[in-house]
Structure 1
Amino acid sequence: MADDHTHVQEFFGARAAGWDARFPDDGPAYAAAVTELGLSPGDAVLDAGCGTGRALAPLRRAVGPTGTVVGADLTPAMLEAALRAGRGASGQLLLADVTRLPLRTGSLDAVFAAGLVAHLPQPEVNLRELARVVRPGGKLALFHPIGRAALAARQGRQITDDDLRAEPNLRLLLAGSGWRTVSYVDEDARFLALAVRQD
């Protein structure tokens, strides 16, 4: 586990300063995904693996001034980039491992996770931890601003049937970790799977 975490921290730490500049047009996609999560004023939401905090402002708009927004990330350099970008004003930034969250059981209404699943060391166990901190009936959004095929092309690889985010695989993974998939979209312009926390 420590090796996985070290690898993730090194990978994102080396890229944090220029992360937003590499993907300058993703803002509307983040905002649209947050809208589809269906948050209400006053809700408590976690941005799991928040990176530079691009989802924090739309999450804050969705839950309003009475809501709670927490952005958690394992990589200090990503959180520092979020602070430099002024995104700390939209929510509380937390240096934390999303596989062992320092949050109370059932304390959240929703989790938003952009690009997180591929970096989880034990996806089923780790998604169960996200389920733990969400109340029954609460929501999960697994998002990426481009779809699986477009991402694979960007990375110079092919998508395969054993891809964790392929619909049948992801549905099974979510079901095994306390979530029920309610929608799945994998288009060139976005990837968005929405799930509900089982009782």
Structure 2
Amino acid sequence: MRNMSDDHTHVQDFFTARAADWDSRFPDDGPAYAEAVAALGLREGARVLDAGCGTGRALTPLRAAVGPSGLVLGADLTPAMLEAAVRAGRGLDGQLLVADVVGLPLRSESLDAVFAAGLIAHLPHPADNLRELARVVRPGGTLALFHPIGRAALAARQGRRITPQDLRAEANLGPLLAGSGWHLTSYADEDARFLALAVRQA
């Protein structure tokens, strides 16, 4: 059985090697990120975390959604990805933290929402990690699990097939979220995007 430090090292190595050219590999994803952020329904002054923010592509639309009085945090396990976010000027849109969803340095119920792009596939312990995201969000707050392409298109890009065990399948994701403090409210798995929205249960 792999231990947690092995998981961390694997994820860090994967993204450190790709950080410098990450944005240039996916230059057309901006509108999809903006649409996914809009689906969160954030209000002016809201407090939101981009969990596994990478190079920070969601930070600018998140800042636009919550306005200057809101709080935008971007957390990622890989310092090289956060450095790329700063180089791209996105550090101006949110506070960047080297942090892991295993244990976030945030107060319980201190946020209104969490945005997570491509995160769920990299979670070492999905139920525990989603429970940690629930811990930092107030009851009634929201979660967006997003990817700029759908499951089938992503699998084809990676040269693999979707398996019945895929955590992002609606039949798997709904119960996983329900057992972690969330209620799945909408689910879209299309060629152009994957977007699951959930509400923090009381």
TM over 0.5: yes
> Which among 95, 98, 103 is matched to residue 100 of structure 1?
103
Q: Does 1:16 align with 2:14?
A: no
For residues 5 and 165 of structure 2, what CA distance do their matches in structure 1 show?
25
> Which among 20, 33, 38 is matched to residue 36 of structure 2?
33
> Which among 166, 171, 175 is matched to residue 172 of structure 1?
175
> Which among 57, 63, 66 is matched to residue 63 of structure 1?
66
Q: Which amino acid aligns with 1:18?
A: D
Two-structure CA RMSD over aligned residues (Å) = 0.3
Instruction: Show the counterpart of 1:2.
Output: 5
Q: CA deviation at 1:167?
A: 0.4
Q: Does 1:47 align with 2:56?
A: no
> Which among 79, 83, 99 is matched to residue 80 of structure 1?
83
Q: CA deviation at 1:160?
A: 1.3
Matched pairs, number: 199
Q: Does 1:130 align with 2:133?
A: yes
Instruction: Show the counterpart of 1:158.
Output: 161
SS at match of 2:17: helix
Aligned-pair identity in percent equals 79
Q: Which amino acid aligns with 2:64?
A: R
Give the TM-score normalised by structure 2: 0.98
Runs of 5+ unmatched residues, structure 2 = none
Q: CA deviation at 1:98?
A: 1.7
Q: CA deviation at 1:161?
A: 1.1
> Which among 185, 193, 198 is matched to residue 196 of structure 2?
193
